[in-house]
Amino acid sequence: MATPIGNLGDITLRALDCLAGVDLIACEDTRVTAKLLGRYGITTQTTAYHDHNAAKVRPGLLRRLGAGLRVALVSDAGTPLVNDPGYKLVREAVAAGISVTALPGPSAVLAALSLAAVPTDRFLFAGFLPPKGEGRRKVLAELARVPASLIFFEGVSRVADAVADMAQVLGGERSAAVARELTKLHEEVRRGTLADLAASYVDTDDPRGEVVIVVGPPVEAAATEADIDVALRTALATMSVREAADAVAGATGAPRRAVYARALALKGDGR
Ligand code: SAM
């Protein structure tokens, strides 16, 4: 069994049981995991599994898993595989018919989304943006029209530049939040429009710690009366007045009663 689990301070009881019960723990950094295991008196053997040794270590882990040993995978903080090692191990374990399960735990992605005060029904986690301005703005332009909240990891020294580029490329009016040091002593969430946030980082020292940036969905421009008329005429060609009013009110966000009245007028005029 390969078990990806989180390893932040907010560890679950189930994860502790798992760590105590498996045959081996593959850790991003054995020293970091040793502190966690020490705190809970867990003596399970550990081995390092990180970006620099993964290709070499993976076959041995898969051999042990194939022989029926249970291996837990942990990262230094948050959820393994989320911008952390583990995806290839899981992929190859699954391909080899080894049972894999996940023990849900903390992740900076969902913690930041929970606190950002932006819509949460649709979101896109975009990982780290390119570090240089030109590359960053190109990726932001690709994401600008995605109808969802966007979540980015960012190096703390680049937050000011990243938020300024977001205001420029995604639109300064979009709601956003910069969530820093989540679950830690100095947790801070700065909320506002992207323009507000960009202004708040001008001429200030770089913040410290780890940061997630969350941006709310694109702000739709309010439909004009002319837009509504065009949409209604198209809809009325194939729909009843009631259906056309429902469809156009839903698509534009305009009040249904007003759209219905306008649909009736257009139909009556034969326009
Ligand atoms: N796997 C981890 C997770 O699920 O949270 C993420 C690992 S990724 C290599 C590290 C990035 O996650 C940091 O650069 C930062 O953007 C974000 N991050 C991790 N911990 C954080 C925290 N406590 N507060 C804010 N951001 C955090």
How many whole angstroms from 107 Cα to the centroid of ligand 1?
A: 7
State residue 221's pLDDT score.
67
- CA angle centred on 215, ends 211 and 219, rounded to 5°: 165
The span from the CA of 250 to the CA of 116, in Å, is: 26
pLDDT for residue 4 is more than 70: no
How many whole angstroms from 218 Cα to the centroid of ligand 1?
A: 25
State residue 196's pLDDT score.
96
Query: Parallel, antiparallel, or unpaired for β 149-154 and 123-128?
Result: parallel
State residue 139's pLDDT score.
97
Partners of 47 in the beta sheet? Answer: 26
Q: Residue 115 — left, alpha, or beta (φ > 0 → left; ψ -120 to 50 → alpha)? A: alpha
Token pair of 9 as six digits: 């301070």
- Give domain limits for the chain: 2-95, 108-215, 225-269
Is 106 in contact with 8 (CB distance < 8 Å)? yes
> Is the pTM higher than 0.75?
yes
How many whole angstroms from 76 Cα to the centroid of ligand 1?
A: 10
Instruction: Identify each DSSP E strand in 105-183 by its residue range.
Output: 123-128, 149-154, 175-180
The span from the CA of 183 to the CA of 107, in Å, is: 10
**Amino acid identity for residue 16 in this structure:** L
Query: Quick count: other Cβ atoms within 10 Å of Cβ 68?
Result: 9
pLDDT digits (tens, 9 = 90+) for 228-260: 898 889 889 888 999 889 888 877 777 889 999
State residue 270's pLDDT score.
62
Q: Which atom of ligand 1 is nearest to the CA of 152?
A: 16
Residue with more model confidence, 96 or 271:
96
Confidence of residue 8 (pLDDT cuts 50, 70, 90): very low
How many whole angstroms from 153 Cα to the centroid of ligand 1?
A: 7
Virtual CA dihedral for 126, 130, 132, 137, nearest 10 degrees?
-40
Residue with more model confidence, 175 or 222:
175
Is 154 in contact with 162 (CB distance < 8 Å)? yes
CATH node for 2-95? 3.40.1010.10
CATH 2.60.260.20 fits 108-215, yes or no: no
| Residue at token pair 């070499």 | 56
Token pair of 145 as six digits: 């029209």
Is 92 in contact with 24 (CB distance < 8 Å)? no
Q: Compute the mean pLDDT over every residue in the chain, rounded to the nearest whole number.
A: 91
pLDDT for residue 268 is more than 90: no
3-class secondary-structure state, position 265: helix
Q: Which atom of ligand 1 is nearest to the CA of 153?
A: 16
Is 28 in contact with 83 (CB distance < 8 Å)? no
- Structural element, H or E, at residue 71: strand 71-74
Q: Which atom of ligand 1 is nearest to the CA of 183?
A: 23
State residue 7's pLDDT score.
47
The stretch 138-157 carries a mean pLDDT of 95
Q: Which of 49, 83, 107 to mutate to test the pocket of ligand 1 (most atoms within 8 A of CB)?
A: 83
C-alpha closest to that of 192 among 166, 154, 169, 226: 166
How many whole angstroms from 124 Cα to the centroid of ligand 1?
A: 16
Is 154 in contact with 211 (CB distance < 8 Å)? yes
With a CB cutoff of 8 Å and minimum separation 6, the contacts of 132 are: none
**Amino acid identity for residue 2 in this structure:** A
pLDDT for residue 6 is more than 70: no
Confidence of residue 9 (pLDDT cuts 50, 70, 90): low
pLDDT digits (tens, 9 = 90+) for 24-48: 999 999 999 999 999 999 999 999 9
